[in-house]
Amino acid sequence: MAHHFEFDSQHRILRLVMKGDVQGEEIAALNPEIRAHVHRLQPAAGISDFSAVENFNVSAQAMRTAAVQPSPYPTETPRYIVAPTDFLFGMARMYEQVADRPDSKLQVVRRIEDALTGLGAADARFETVT
């Protein structure tokens, strides 16, 4: 799986962009990496963008296991998962329900524009985080 992080400094949004083939063990391994970026950048919101995923080879059990891990974000931080296909949307919704984040702080949407609108950041400009 290829992935990278982007950050919009105006709105303080951290965006994880996932591409290509995604495997279950890779999903489970993302939390420490996200946590490190959250610690360093102190984002006000987070987006996990699955728009460029070609193959999602992740079992329902792997998604449930990832969902019960402690969130890498503070409880009050709003987060979105962008899942454009029906399959990805269903898997992301399962993750959302199992994760049970309070006050709807985790939402699944189909388009990045929906996440940005929900965050009041339609004009966001992301730069790659190194």
CATH number at residue 111: 3.30.750.24
- Based on the structure, what is the number of domains in the chain? 1
**Banded model confidence at residue 112, pLDDT cuts 50, 70, 90:** very high
Question: Nearest CA to 116 among 68, 53, 51?
Answer: 51
User: pLDDT tens digits for 41-69?
Assistant: 999 999 999 999 999 999 999 999 999 99
φ/ψ (deg, to 5) at 92:
-65, -35
Structure tokens at 65: 């296991």
Q: What domain range includes position 91?
A: 2-128
